[in-house]
Structure 1
Amino acid sequence: MVSGAVIEFSHLTKRFGGVAAVDDLSFRVEPGVVTGFLGPNGAGKTTTLRSLLGLVRPTSGSATFDGRPYAQLADPLRVVGTALEASSFHAGRSARDHLRVAAAAAGLPLASADAALVKVGLDSVARRRVGGFSLGMRQRLGLAFALLGDPGVLVLDEPINGLDPEGIRWIRELLRAYAAEGRTVLVSSHLLSEVQQTVDRAVVIARGRIVYQGDLAAMSAGGGARVRVDAADRPALGAALAGAVVAAGADGFVVTGLEPGEIGLRAHRAGVPLTLLAPERDGLEDVFLHLVGADPAAAHAAGGDAVGPSAHGPGEVRR
């Protein structure tokens, strides 16, 4: 069985002129789990992945597979399968021709091209010109390239983009199956909703810096807790909650830092009957959006190894 290598980024930095597109990133991607590399568009995800694959020279730091940079891998297509750009195909060539050329160049059996097309569900259109492919079909073809050498590592940039719901479910099952075999899977996305049922661990990046890394479940569990509370006598309720963090709303108060039981006890002691006492917690998407926002303290609201993003001036470019 093919085993996956450990991907390690160590203090990776990439500057374009005076702009830090990637700023001192350090994290590991272990075999056997699906790791999501998440962040908004322009956060630095693609630059990071291109640095890993030797397509961009880092300003400082390193990115390696079991301690070796991509350029030093003896048989890279058998070690790492990549899909970074769904549009970089020759419109006049067929899907099969694309893969057979790549297989021949890498010293792989030509039959591996047909096997990869079967894996991604494109065998029925293998001889069709890629110029007529939809975005989702191009995404599948890009994944076929990644699977060509039956690698132990998959590095995929926004692989779900352009897929229909059936395609999203298909790629989710494929990635989880690969991880279950002990392979290493690193997948980037700017939409948490697309990958939250797929990834086990998450590395969240904003403005070129890591703002969270750890289990996805821990990120969700760390969401901000609050209690929505109301009473007919709102001034009296407000007085009973004195000293707590309270925000007034159209339907009462939102309280943070107090458990529902403590709020109920305070209201009871003040003789204020409550008409609403409802605990709430941020959903995973809320936590994610909070993390990639401008407030560094947001990173510490979630469990795991969270780090606040650095402040960057206007006009700074992320790739």
Structure 2
Amino acid sequence: MPTGVPIEFAGVTKRFGPVAAVSDLSFRVEPGRVTGFLGPNGAGKTTTLRMLLGLVTPTAGSATIGGVRYRDLLSPLSSVGSALEAASFHPGRTARDHLGVYAKAARIDPKQVPIVLDTVGLTEHAARRVGGYSLGMRQRLGLAFALLGDPGVLVLDEPINGLDPEGIKWIRGFLRQLAVEGRTVLISSHLLSEVQQSVDEVVIIARGTLVHRGPLSSLEIEGAATKVIVDSPNRDQLVAALGAASATFEEARAGILVTGLEPGQVGHIAFAAGVEVSSLHRQKSGLEDSFLALVGEGGSL
């Protein structure tokens, strides 16, 4: 079974004329984990991945796989499997022929072709011309190409895009299995709800710079302002007490939603005003709120 190696970006910078697409970006992707690479449109995600795969030359810094630049790998397809969103296929070729061409060029056993087609659920469509494939089927074919050399490192750009609900459920489990096997898995995505259910670590960039990295759980802690749900049998008195304390709040279905205060502070306001509290708890911030707090409300994945 292939073993993953770390991916490392060290001070990576890329300028296109006066425009800095990526600026001094440093982070590490570990084996045995699914790492989500997130950022608003234009944040530099694709440029970063292209630098890793040797398609774009960094202005400064380095991007390595197991300490080696992609172009210096002895057997690239057997070391790193990649599927970029913009990947194109010859519309007149069948899926089987498409993979066969790359297997021959990379000196990969042709027996791998039917194996990877079966892995991604394309066996029954292997003899169809790719020009007739749906977007979801093209995504699966791109993943089959990434798996062709049975690599220890997978770099996937928007792998969930275009998949139907069944396909999304399948790829969640598949990504997890790749990580369990010890492979290094780096995926970019703009589908926050899907990333939330698929990854262990998150790396977020905005305007070409790193704004957050860490376990998925840490994003909810660091990203957004604290929100507390509080309620009382006498909600009018509670509202009056919060207003007198200059708290920021709004009425919600579950009670009063207070922003910017800790539960203990909200409880103290109620206690000091002699207001009975029937419920008081922190509202768990969603990934979307955390993301917007980190990159600004104008950004979107």
Mapping of residues 241-260 of structure 1, within 5 Å: 241=245, 246-249=247-250, 254-259=258-263
Shift of 1:264: 3.4
Segments of 5+ residues of structure 1 without an aligned counterpart are 296-308, 310-319
2:26 equivalent to 1:26:
yes
Report the equivalent of 2:108. Answer: 108
* Counterpart Cα distance in 2 of 1:256 and 1:187: 33
Shift of 1:161: 0.3
| Secondary structure of the structure 1 residue equivalent to 2:283 | strand
Shift of 1:173: 1.2
Query: What one-letter code is carried by the residue in structure 2 that aligns with 1:137?
Result: M
Shift of 1:250: 5.5
Against the structure 1 CA distance between its residues 235 and 34, is the aligned structure 2 distance closer, same or farther, given a 3 Å change threshold? closer
Against the structure 1 CA distance between its residues 58 and 237, is the aligned structure 2 distance closer, same or farther, given a 3 Å change threshold? same
Query: What one-letter code is carried by the residue in structure 1 that aligns with 2:139?
Result: Q
Shift of 1:262: 4.2
2:52 equivalent to 1:52:
yes
Report the equivalent of 2:295. Answer: 292
Shift of 1:6: 1.0
Against the structure 1 CA distance between its residues 181 and 229, is the aligned structure 2 distance closer, same or farther, given a 3 Å change threshold? closer
Contact 2:242 2:269 in 1 (8 A): no
Report the equivalent of 1:281. Answer: 284
* Counterpart Cα distance in 2 of 1:181 and 1:166: 23
* Counterpart Cα distance in 1 of 2:3 and 2:281: 48
Against the structure 1 CA distance between its residues 115 and 15, is the aligned structure 2 distance closer, same or farther, given a 3 Å change threshold? same
2:183 equivalent to 1:183:
yes
Shift of 1:254: 2.3
* Counterpart Cα distance in 1 of 2:40 and 2:270: 42
Shift of 1:214: 0.5
Alignment size in residue pairs? 292
Report the equivalent of 2:129. Answer: 129
Identical aligned residues as a percent? 60
Which deviates further from its counterpart, 246-255 or 85-94?
A: 246-255
Against the structure 1 CA distance between its residues 239 and 27, is the aligned structure 2 distance closer, same or farther, given a 3 Å change threshold? closer
* Counterpart Cα distance in 2 of 1:262 and 1:109: 65
Query: What one-letter code is carried by the residue in structure 2 that aligns with 1:288?
Result: F
* Counterpart Cα distance in 2 of 1:171 and 1:53: 23
| Secondary structure of the structure 2 residue equivalent to 1:43 | coil
Residues 99-143 of structure 1: CA deviation (Å, up to 9, x unaligned) = 000000011122211111111111111110000000000000001
Residues 59-92 of structure 1: CA deviation (Å, up to 9, x unaligned) = 1110001111001000111100010135511111
Which deviates further from its counterpart, 58-67 or 215-224?
A: 215-224
* Counterpart Cα distance in 1 of 2:148 and 2:209: 32
* Counterpart Cα distance in 1 of 2:85 and 2:244: 58
| Secondary structure of the structure 2 residue equivalent to 1:281 | coil
Shift of 1:184: 0.7
Report the equivalent of 1:305. Answer: none
* Counterpart Cα distance in 2 of 1:105 and 1:39: 35
TM-score by structure 1 length? 0.84
Shift of 1:277: 5.1
Contact 2:262 2:282 in 1 (8 A): no
* Counterpart Cα distance in 2 of 1:195 and 1:236: 41
Segments of 5+ residues of structure 2 without an aligned counterpart are none
CA RMSD of aligned residues (A): 2.3
Which deviates further from its counterpart, 214-223 or 30-39?
A: 214-223
Query: What one-letter code is carried by the residue in structure 2 that aligns with 1:225?
Result: T
Shift of 1:218: 1.7
Mapping of residues 197-212 of structure 1, within 5 Å: 197-212=197-212
2:236 equivalent to 1:232:
yes
